Chain A
Amino acid sequence: MLSQELLKINNLSTSFQIDEEYYAAVDDVSLTVRENEVLAIVGESGSGKSATAFSIMGLHNRGKIEGEMLFQGQDLAKLSTSEMNKIRGKDMSMIFQDPLTALNPLMEIGVQIGEVLLLHNKNMSKTERRNYAIELLGRVGIPRPERVVDQFPHELSGGMRQRVIIAIAIANQPKLLIADEPTTALDVTIQAQILDLIQELKDDLNSGVILITHDLGVVAEMADRVAVMYAGQIVEESDVESVFVNPQHPYTRSLLSSIPATDYAQDRLHVIQGIVPSLKHLPRTGCRFKGRIPWIDDDAHEDHPVLHEVSEGHFVRCTCYQHFYFPDENKEDQANGVTEG
């Protein structure tokens, strides 16, 4: 049974101006997030994941946003900054990538949590805010919260600071939580704790979560649905099982075969050739992944790649997935048992 749709993005494009011309960092992206669902957005650096998240939160100070972002019936793309300010921090909030820089170094932890309370509940008194901040700190698993509330960010470890950021994000029980690579800057042991915490809070608050990551391990652990982004576009979208069991797009398959396996010895990992082209040099027509799989015949690609529904709820862009193989392996060895279409 599908729960209620929380955020529905239709044909979102976010463009930035470089030398008098606009280039789309997010190109025609459509996504849906439901209540109590984790949607993971996966991709390399520069694939437009964070740009998508920042567009939803309205945090780009420059840049042109086109398309619709329906959040609880309101189109976020049409809201003014002051209208956005009533929503962000309250109904939707964000957890940031780097806990070491995301907190104001000159403000006590309690004041930083109190700020998000103050901004959305004008009638809360200073003591109430402080007490609630202590409660929140306890809730995100910080020991001795009544002490930490008066401390400054530099007195806390990275993991603790990320908990503080999560406390700020959940302070007003948001319906939508956007986590932008929440564990990238943390130690492996802390990563699991933070992910568990996000999962737990999501269940408590019944919120929808957009989890942005390039860590497929995190995706496997957390996500319900997965959108794989490449060069500003979604190239594959499906439920989490399909992505891991039956990946289709060459990019998804390449990403998966770049993960070191732990159950058998590997000589070499798969390396995706080349890099994500920069915003300015992105091919605007044809399959954007074409340049990184040059051994695939040009005819395999579509001229104007669109998303094809290969099975229910599983979308893949371009037709090249039907003809894709890894050049350095025998056909039988190919990862994940994908059959050639």
Chain B
Amino acid sequence: MWKFIVRRLIITLPQLLLLSLLVFFMASLMPGDAFTSQIDPSLSQDAIEEQRERLGLNDPWYQQYGRWVSGVAEGDFGTSTAHYRPVTDLIWERMINTIWLSLLSVIFIYAIGIPLGIISGRWNDRLVDQIITGYTYLGFATPIFIFALVVLFFFGFTLGWFPTGGSVASGLEPGSFEYIVSKLHHLLLPALSIALIGVVGTVQYLRSEIIDTKQKDFIITARAKGAPESRVYNRHIFRNSVLPIAAFFGYEITMLITGSVFVEQIFSYPGMGNLFIESILIRDFPVVTAVVLLFGLAAILGALLSDIILSIVDPRIRIK
């Protein structure tokens, strides 16, 4: 299996290189440069030219790229042109918020999705399955931004049970019990919104996998051994059905970092998705570049993780 993981890691390297090149050229295609927004209009053209030369903006692209990449490799994404703070600090703050939100959403998704999928698959076409399947169709059809808005309006605004924005109440000591409770209080509504809509894929996947696995020959073998139904389901059907869900876990991790742009926006939750939209609107290019790069990185790492998980749970993949 180590062989597989090492090979899979090697494949990741050219992906990373390509990603960084893509992001770099996309950034250089954007109008202006890192310098434009900081220029005092009263400066002479010569002074600007001199400054450009000094900052290396006139160097050939590969030198600029080299400098940028080595900075990124050390975690230096430059300075935000809107906030006048290092991009790294800004992202770090937001990323922590997003990770909490996504972590809670993923926990909800599995806690709701796996039992529903199992029930639905085991008793397929019975009433209970029809109800669950009906819910998944509704979930597929409902856009998350509508659902989140309705949830926010009803539970946050009308009933007032939950805060309608932010990530924590102000004036609390970080690390204190009240602080953590307040954080959770702020997280619950957006996380549930993401989970209740996001869960439908997991339910449908698991359901169809279970229905599929139920009809496999090795299930008959298990019954012919004298295995009781509970064992047939737990040891044979479930384990084989959960493979695609396990494989999907890596992509859920991608979501941990990219966050949900819509939900964060609607709940005014200060996460990565929110930062991304904000930075685009105010043309904070160093931040946009860094965020795009991170999203790409998250996607690559998510796929890598998925493959590794799959190789652990499915022995057939280990050999190749």
Is B7 at the interface (CB under 8 A from chain A)? no
A101-B216, A106-B314 known; A57 vs B224 contact (CB < 8 Å): yes
Is B91 at the interface (CB under 8 A from chain A)? no
| Contacts of B97-140 to chain A: CB distance below 8 A | none
Is A262 at the interface (CB under 8 A from chain B)? no
Pairwise interchain contact B226-A59, C-beta atoms closer than 8 A: no
Q: How far is the CB of B77 from chain A (nearest CB, A)?
A: 43
Partner of A152, one of B220, B235, B313, B316: B316
Pairwise interchain contact A116-B225, C-beta atoms closer than 8 A: yes
How many Å lie between the Cα of A320 and that of B175 in the bound state? 92
CB-CB contacts of A91-102 with B at 8 A, as 1s and 0s? 001101010011
| Contacts of B201-255 to chain A: CB distance below 8 A | 216-218, 220-229, 231, 235-236, 239-240
Is B66 at the interface (CB under 8 A from chain A)? no
Pairwise interchain contact A94-B227, C-beta atoms closer than 8 A: no
Pairwise interchain contact A168-B225, C-beta atoms closer than 8 A: yes
Is A85 at the interface (CB under 8 A from chain B)? yes
Q: How far is the CB of B93 from chain A (nearest CB, A)?
A: 43
Could you say which interface size class chain B belongs to? 20 to 34
Q: Which residue of A lies closest to B219 (CB)?
A: A104
Pairwise interchain contact A87-B218, C-beta atoms closer than 8 A: no
Pairwise interchain contact A103-B316, C-beta atoms closer than 8 A: no
| Contacts of A76-132 to chain B: CB distance below 8 A | 81-82, 84-90, 93-94, 96, 98, 101-106, 115-116, 119-120
**What's the count of A-B pairs with C-beta under 8 Å?**
74
Is A293 at the interface (CB under 8 A from chain B)? no
| Contacts of A152-184 to chain B: CB distance below 8 A | 152, 154-155, 165, 168
Pairwise interchain contact B225-A104, C-beta atoms closer than 8 A: no
Q: How far is the CB of A247 from chain B (nearest CB, A)?
A: 33
Q: How far is the CB of A170 from chain B (nearest CB, A)?
A: 12
Q: Which residue of A lies closest to B318 (CB)?
A: A152
Is B32 at the interface (CB under 8 A from chain A)? no
| Contacts of A27-86 to chain B: CB distance below 8 A | 57, 59, 81-82, 84-86
Q: Which residue of A lies closest to B315 (CB)?
A: A152
How many Å lie between the Cα of A340 and that of B110 in the bound state? 73
How many Å lie between the Cα of A57 and that of B221 in the bound state? 11
Q: How far is the CB of A269 from chain B (nearest CB, A)?
A: 32
Q: How far is the CB of A178 from chain B (nearest CB, A)?
A: 9
Pairwise interchain contact A154-B316, C-beta atoms closer than 8 A: yes
Pairwise interchain contact A90-B217, C-beta atoms closer than 8 A: no
Q: Which residue of B lies closest to A151 (CB)?
A: B315
Pairwise interchain contact B221-A104, C-beta atoms closer than 8 A: yes
Q: Which residue of A lies closest to B214 (CB)?
A: A61
Q: How far is the CB of A18 from chain B (nearest CB, A)?
A: 16
Q: Chain B residues near A93: list those with CB within 8 A.
A: 224-225
Q: Which residue of B lies closest to A119 (CB)?
A: B226
Q: Which residue of A lies closest to B313 (CB)?
A: A106
Q: Chain A residues near B316: list those with CB within 8 A.
A: 105, 152, 154
Pairwise interchain contact A59-B218, C-beta atoms closer than 8 A: no
A154-B315, A154-B316 known; A102 vs B221 contact (CB < 8 Å): yes
How many Å lie between the Cα of A232 and that of B224 in the bound state? 23
Q: Which residue of A lies closest to B228 (CB)?
A: A85
How many Å lie between the Cα of A105 and that of B240 in the bound state? 8
A106-B315, A152-B316 known; A89 vs B218 contact (CB < 8 Å): no
How many Å lie between the Cα of A93 and that of B227 in the bound state? 12
How many Å lie between the Cα of A155 and that of B315 in the bound state? 10
How many Å lie between the Cα of A315 and that of B252 in the bound state? 66
CB-CB contacts of A298-321 with B at 8 A, as 1s and 0s? 000000000000000000000000
Q: Chain A residues near B217: list those with CB within 8 A.
A: 96, 98, 101-102
Partner of B239, one of A103, A106, A154: A106
Q: How far is the CB of A272 from chain B (nearest CB, A)?
A: 29
Pairwise interchain contact A59-B223, C-beta atoms closer than 8 A: yes
Task: Give the top 8 A-B pairs by smallest Cβ distance, nearest first.
Answer: A89-B226, A89-B225, A101-B217, A85-B226, A116-B225, A152-B315, A104-B218, A94-B224
- Residues of chain A having any CB pair with chain B under 8 Å: 57, 59, 81-82, 84-90, 93-94, 96, 98, 101-106, 115-116, 119-120, 152, 154-155, 165, 168
Could you show 8 A-B contacts with beta carbons less than 8 Å apart? A93-B224, A96-B217, A104-B240, A105-B240, A106-B239, A106-B240, A106-B315, A168-B225
- Residues of chain B having any CB pair with chain A under 8 Å: 216-218, 220-229, 231, 235-236, 239-240, 313-316, 319
Knowing that A86-B226, A88-B226, A115-B222 are A-B contacts, what are 5 other residue pairs whose CB atoms are under 8 Å apart, sorted by A's residue number?
A: A90-B226, A96-B224, A104-B222, A106-B315, A119-B227
